[in-house]
A and B are shown apart, each in its own frame.
Chain A
Amino acid sequence: MNKKNTFKRKTLPALAMAGPVSLWMILFVTLPMMYIIYISFMSRGVFGDVVYEFSLESYKTLLDSTYFKVIVKSVRAAFTTTVFCLLIGYPFAYYIAKKPKEVASKLIMLIMIPFWTNSLMRLNSWLLLFQTSGPVNNFLQSTGLIDSPISFVYTDGLVMLGMITNMLPFAVLPMYSSIEKLSKSLLEASADLGASRRTTFFQITLPLTFPGIFSSIILVFIPSLGIYTVTDMLGGGKVLYIGNIIKNQFGAIRNWPLGAALSVLLIVITGLLIFIYTRFAKIEDMEVV
C-alpha cells in the first residue's frame, strides 16, 4: 500500500516529466554518438558499404597527407577565427559592459539583430561585395589603386572574413556578461592601492573574466572546427575544412567509417576543451543561451 502510494506520488510524476526528455536524449543523442564511434572502427567495403570488422583503417587514413593537411588547415582556421574574435570582441564587450545597464541591453540587442538574417545570405553578401565586378573591386579600380580586379572570391582570406563576422557575437556575449559582473569596488581598491591601470587590468580584470573568455573560446573554436557552410558559400568548393570532408563521406564519396573517424576526432577535441573548462568553471555557467 505504502509502496503503491510513493509510486503514485513520486515515481509516476517524475517519469511523466523527466521521461520524455530522457528518452529523447538517449535515443537521439547517446545512441547515435555511440554508433558513430563504433562505425569509425569499421572499414569501407568496395561499394561504399560498411564492412563490420574491427579495423583502424579510417584512423590511419586520417594520417595520410591529404586528410592530415585538411585537419591542420581546419584547426589553424578555427584557431585564427578564435584569436581574432577574442581580440576584436574583448574591447567591444568591455565598452558595452561599462555602459549603464539600460544602454548596454540596447547595445547587445543591436548585436543580435543582424543575426536574425539568414546566415547564408549574410555570407553571400560578402561574396557580392568582393566578387570580380563587385563594389569593392569597382571602388579600388576607380581610385586607381589597382589596374585589374583582385580575385578575392574563393580565397582563404574571404572564408576567414566570413568565419570571423559570423562568430563574433558568440565571443562577445559571454565576455560581456563576465565583465559586467566584475565588481567595481575591486578595481577601485586596486587603483587606490597604487596599481597602474595596466597592472589592474592584467592582475584583476583579465583573471576574473577568464571564465567568460574561455566560454567564448569554446563557443567560437568548436563550431568553427566543424563548419562547412562558410567554406561552401565563400570557398566555392576550393577551400575545404573538416566539415566539408565529413559531409562528403556521407554523400557522393560514401566512406562512412572515414567520416565517422573524423567526427570522433571532433568529439575528442570538444571533450578535451570541455574537460579543461570544467577544471575551473561550471558548465552551467557557460552562457550558451
Chain B
Amino acid sequence: MSISKKQKRKRREEVIGTIYSIIIYTILYIPVFVMMAFSFNNQRYNYFWNGFTTQWYSKLFSNSAVIGSLWYSVVIAVLSTVISVVIGTIGALGLKKYEFKGKKFINNMLYIPIIVPEIVMAVALLIIFMKTGIALGMGTILIGHCTFCIPYAVVTIKGRISGDDYSLEEASMDLGANRIQTFINVTLPGIMPGVMSAAFLSFTLSIDDVVMSNMLAGAKNSTLPVLILSMNKSGVTPDVNALTTIMILIIVIAMILNNIIKNTLKKRAKMEESI
C-alpha cells in the first residue's frame, strides 16, 4: 500500500516536472520562433503580420549594409578567435606549469573581464584609447573582444590540463625532440578538446557582442549586432530576421553533423576494440 503510494507520488512529480520544463523551454524558444516567423512577413518594417513572403531572403543579399556588417562581424570574430586561442593556449600552459612573481595577480586579473559588467571594461578601454590617441576602428574592437575572449580561453583550456601531461613532455624531450616539436606533437594533442571549446566560445562571444563593438567602433563600420541595436528606433527590418534565421540554422545543422560524426567515430572505435 505504502509502496504504491510512493510510486504514485513519484509519477505525479515526474509529470509536474515535465510540464514545468516544457513551459520553460517554450518561453526560451518563443523569441527564436517569432524571429523566424517574422522573416517571412510581407512588410517593410515588422509592425504586424501582413502575409507570407520569401522576398527578404532573396533581397537580403542586395542589402549591402546588412551583408557588409555581417562580413565585418565574421572577420572580427575569426581574428579575435585566432588571437585569443593562441595567446590563451600558451598562456594557460605557462600559467599552469611555471611559478613566477605576480602569477596570482595575473590569475586574478583574468577574472575581471569575465565578471565585471562589460560596459565598465568597454568604457575603461575607450578612455585609454582616446587618451593615447589610438583611432577607433577594427583594431580597437579586436582588442576589446580579445580582452574578454582571452580569459575565457585561458580558463577553459586550464581546466583541461592535467598534471600527468608533463611526464609525456619530458619523455618526448628525453627522446630528443625539441621544445617546439614537443609542443606540437605531444602537448597540443593532449589539450585539443579544450582548445576547440575555447575557440568555439571565443567565436560565439565575439560575433554576438554588442557592448564592446558599440563603444569601441569608429564612425565608419559597424558589426551586425551594433547595426541591429541602431535599428531599434525605427524597427528592425525583416531581412535581418532572414539573416539571423539562416545563421541559427547553419549553427544547428553544424552541431547535429558534429554530433553524428562524433558518435560514428565512437562506435567505430568501440567496434575496433571488440575485434
Tell which of B30-38, B56-64, B74-82, B265-273 binds the partner.
B30-38
State whether B211 touches A266 (Cβ < 8 A).
Answer: no
State whether B38 touches A223 (Cβ < 8 A).
Answer: no
| Total contacts A-B at CB 8 Å | 238
Interface string of A1-45 (1 = CB under 8 A from B): 000000000100110111111101110111111011001000000
Q: Is A193 an interface residue (CB 8 A)?
A: no
Q: Is A239 an interface residue (CB 8 A)?
A: no
Interface hits, A227-256 → B, CB 8 Å = 227-229, 232-233, 236-237, 243, 246-247, 250, 256
A111 to B114, CA, bound (A): 21
List the B side residues contacting A120 at CB < 8 Å.
Answer: 210, 225, 228-229, 232, 236
Interface hits, B105-132 → A, CB 8 Å = 106, 109-121, 123-128, 131
A169 to B27, CA, bound (A): 12
Q: Is B17 an interface residue (CB 8 A)?
A: yes
Interface hits, B171-222 → A, CB 8 Å = 179, 201, 204, 208, 210-211, 214-215
List the B side residues contacting A267 at CB < 8 Å.
Answer: 116, 120
State whether A233 touches B127 (Cβ < 8 A).
Answer: no
Q: Is B240 an interface residue (CB 8 A)?
A: yes
Contacts known (A28-B143, A29-B113); A135 close to B228, Cβ less than 8 A:
no
Q: Is A155 an interface residue (CB 8 A)?
A: no
Q: Is A131 an interface residue (CB 8 A)?
A: yes
List the B side residues contacting A123 at CB < 8 Å.
Answer: 31
Q: Is B152 an interface residue (CB 8 A)?
A: yes
Q: Is A96 an interface residue (CB 8 A)?
A: yes
Size of the A side of the interface (Cβ < 8 Å), in residues, is 82
Contacts known (A21-B94, A117-B35, A120-B225); A259 close to B123, Cβ less than 8 A:
yes
Contacts known (A10-B98, A92-B24); A21 close to B106, Cβ less than 8 A:
yes
Q: Is A114 an interface residue (CB 8 A)?
A: yes
Q: Is A46 an interface residue (CB 8 A)?
A: no
Contacts known (A29-B109, A226-B117, A270-B115); A165 close to B27, Cβ less than 8 A:
yes
List the B side residues contacting A13 at CB < 8 Å.
Answer: 94, 98, 179
Interface hits, B140-176 → A, CB 8 Å = 143, 146-147, 150-152, 154-156, 159
16 A–B contacts, CB within 8 A, in A order:
A19-B94, A21-B110, A24-B147, A35-B128, A92-B21, A95-B18, A116-B204, A123-B31, A125-B30, A129-B30, A131-B47, A168-B24, A228-B119, A229-B210, A266-B120, A288-B115
Further 15 A-B residue pairs, CB within 8 A, beyond A17-B90, A95-B20, A168-B24 = A17-B94, A18-B98, A21-B95, A26-B106, A29-B113, A32-B124, A39-B127, A96-B21, A114-B32, A117-B247, A124-B236, A125-B32, A138-B48, A229-B211, A263-B119
What 7 A-B pairs have minimum CB-CB distances, sorted nearest first? A226-B117, A17-B94, A21-B91, A18-B94, A32-B124, A14-B98, A122-B31
B interface residues (Cβ-Cβ under 8 A, vs A): 17-18, 20-21, 24-25, 27-32, 34-35, 38, 46-49, 87-88, 90-91, 93-95, 97-98, 100, 102-103, 106, 109-121, 123-128, 131, 143, 146-147, 150-152, 154-156, 159, 179, 201, 204, 208, 210-211, 214-215, 224-225, 228-229, 232-233, 236, 240-241, 244, 247-248, 251-252, 255
